[in-house]
């Protein structure tokens, strides 16, 4: 089926589609991507134009048209799906944006998505323009019979991508195209979550816009590409029945109250992030801030009440930016002025409890984001944990260079303790993989059950040759 036909079925009209050509099937796409040199080989250079799987930008533009049609005619367009304040009319007008000449307000949001018990959900961390790792993961899913081409075939299977799809790797266009092919083929089964790099200011600074312009010249429509970011939730409360976990790119956000969303009877619902009331949360004297005076004072210094004007102003949105301590004995709160806030175990325990509702308990956080291009405590543990690291397994960093990898969870099936935080690894064909010397992509599948104690994370790896 051509993308033009898919758009026609959605009732979407576009003169650009008159000359649309049939799109590659999965096998052809996989073969074309396999010919691309690895990011580690290219070292920031672009591949030869003759090797580009998409010689023209039209294919990207057309898949974006399909995505926009699905988004603007689907659940996001229904007033009854929004808890509290609905987005403005400009939110669904793809010809306008909060950062363009035709202005519309910046309107970030979160989503609740409830699935049947026994569902399986692929969770994918940062890709950063690494098409080879993405295709390797999708290939593993084909082998398991969960995917046939771009189509999900297992009725119990879903996919959630945790943000940072581009930048720092030169195959961002191909990554975005692949994710959109998956999403439009499975609109109710593929979740694309917004990371801190799904922001026009970061893609302008860290390489993706330059990549698109170098590949396609004047054809590259940067405004259209970055407009796609605005339809991605900053967090998803995903679960079964009364049990949910917070999926996000960054971390917890103390200024947001998801309880109205969690109490909604709808299995698929949305809530705008209209205002973040961090100071108001701290004024309630959470136990962690009073028990750890230094942490409470640091929070008082950095917390503020504000209406987001962009992902980073007047301050960052924690769902997209925040981090977590590695060891249980570390402070409840700290701030890295060059990045974002860092939350310890005590603060997270209180936040998850206070942000739960009687009808839905937020049991854990699963995210990505916290990576380094050089070995450090969390990168060493991410690698030793086969790409899925649970924070606070150790009280403190061992003295000297004694890193006890054997003390970490490394099994193929892992329980999810109440209040736990999990970080998923970044893809290996990246500056992160090169700097830390790993060559495997992680395949994490969340398996739900009626009782949260029976939920599991299945952890597998697939080797990704990087030369």
Instruction: Identify the structural domains of the chain with CATH numbers, from first to last.
Output: 1-467 (3.60.21.10)
Parts of the chain with a pLDDT under 50: 1-5, 7, 9-19
Radius of gyration over alpha carbons of the chain, in Å? 21
In this prediction, residue 181 carries a pLDDT of 98
Alpha helices for 97-171 (secondary structure H): 131-143
Residue from 128, 75, 85 nearest 269 by CA: 75
- Please choose, from the candidates 343, 384, 380, the residue with its C-alpha nearest in 3D space to the C-alpha of residue 365: 343
Q: How many CB atoms lie within 10 A of CB 69?
A: 21
Q: Which of 38, 363, 6, 28 is nearest to 186 (CA)?
A: 6
pLDDT at 50 (0 to 100): 96
Q: How many CB atoms lie within 10 A of CB 441?
A: 28
Q: Which two tokens stand for residue 341?
A: 């806030």
Q: Which residues contact 242 (CB under 8 A, 6 or more apart)?
A: 359, 360, 361
Residues in CB range of 238: below 8 A, 6 or more apart: 112, 113, 114, 115, 121, 160, 191, 244, 245, 247, 446
- HEC readout, 308-375: CCECCECCCCHHHHCEECCCCCCCCEEECCCCCEEECHHHHHHHHHHCCECCEEEEEEEECCCCCCCC
Q: In the prediction, which pLDDT does 22 show?
A: 67
With b for 16 or more beta-carbon neighbours within 10 A and e for fewer, the 192-204 pattern comes to bbbbbbbbbebbe
**How many whole angstroms from its chain centre is CA 234?**
8
Give the ranges where 238-277 is alpha helix by DSSP (H).
259-262
What's the pLDDT score for residue 400? 66
Distances in Å between the Cα of 23 and the Cα atoms of 47, 63, 177, 226, 297 are: 22, 10, 11, 22, 56
């Amino acid at each position: 089926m051509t993308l033009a036909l898919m758009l026609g079925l959605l009732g979407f009209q576009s003169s650009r589609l008159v000359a649309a050509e049939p799109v590659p099937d999965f096998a052809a796409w996989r073969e074309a991507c396999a010919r691309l040199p690895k990011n580690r080989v290219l070292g920031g250079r672009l591949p030869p134009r003759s090797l580009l799987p998409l010689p023209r930008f039209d294919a990207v533009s057309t898949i974006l048209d399909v995505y926009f049609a699905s988004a603007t005619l689907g659940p996001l367009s229904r007033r009854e799906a929004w808890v509290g304040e609905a987005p403005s009319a400009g939110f669904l007008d793809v010809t306008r944006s909060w950062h363009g000449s035709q202005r519309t307000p910046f309107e970030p949001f979160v989503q609740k998505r409830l699935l049947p018990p026994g569902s399986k959900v692929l969770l994918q961390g940062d890709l950063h323009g690494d098409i080879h790792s993405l295709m390797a993961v999708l290939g593993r899913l084909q082998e398991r019979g969960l995917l046939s081409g771009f189509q999900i075939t297992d009725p119990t299977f879903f996919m959630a991508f945790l943000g940072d799809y581009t930048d720092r790797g030169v195959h961002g266009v191909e990554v975005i195209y692949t994710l959109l092919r998956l999403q439009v083929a499975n609109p109710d089964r593929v979740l694309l979550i917004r990371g801190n790099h799904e922001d026009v200011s970061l893609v302008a600074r860290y390489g993706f816009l330059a990549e698109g312009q170098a590949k396609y010249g004047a054809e590259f429509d940067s405004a259209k590409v970055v407009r796609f970011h605005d339809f991605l939730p900053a967090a998803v409360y995903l679960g079964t029945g009364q049990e949910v976990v917070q999926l996000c790119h960054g971390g917890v956000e103390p200024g947001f109250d998801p309880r109205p969303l969690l109490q909604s009877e709808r299995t698929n619902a949305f809530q705008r992030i209209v205002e973040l009331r961090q100071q108001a949360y701290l004024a309630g004297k959470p136990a962690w801030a009073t028990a750890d005076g230094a942490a409470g004072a640091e929070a008082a210094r950095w917390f503020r009440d504000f209406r987001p004007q962009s992902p980073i102003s007047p301050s960052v949105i924690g769902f997209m930016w925040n981090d977590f301590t590695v060891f249980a004995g570390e402070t409840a709160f700290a701030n890295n002025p060059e990045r974002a806030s860092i939350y310890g175990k005590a603060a997270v325990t209180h936040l998850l409890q206070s942000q739960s509702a009687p009808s839905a308990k937020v049991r854990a956080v699963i995210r990505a984001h916290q990576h380094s291009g050089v070995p450090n405590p969390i990168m060493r543990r991410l690698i030793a944990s086969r790409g899925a690291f649970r924070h606070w397994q150790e009280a403190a960093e061992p003295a000297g260079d004694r890193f006890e990898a054997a003390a970490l969870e490394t099994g193929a099936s892992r329980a999810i303790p109440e209040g736990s935080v999990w970080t998923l690894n970044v893809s290996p064909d990246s500056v992160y993989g090169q700097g830390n010397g790993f060559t495997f992509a992680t395949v994490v599948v969340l398996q739900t059950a009626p009782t949260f104690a029976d939920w599991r994370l299945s952890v597998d790896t697939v080797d990704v040759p990087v030369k």
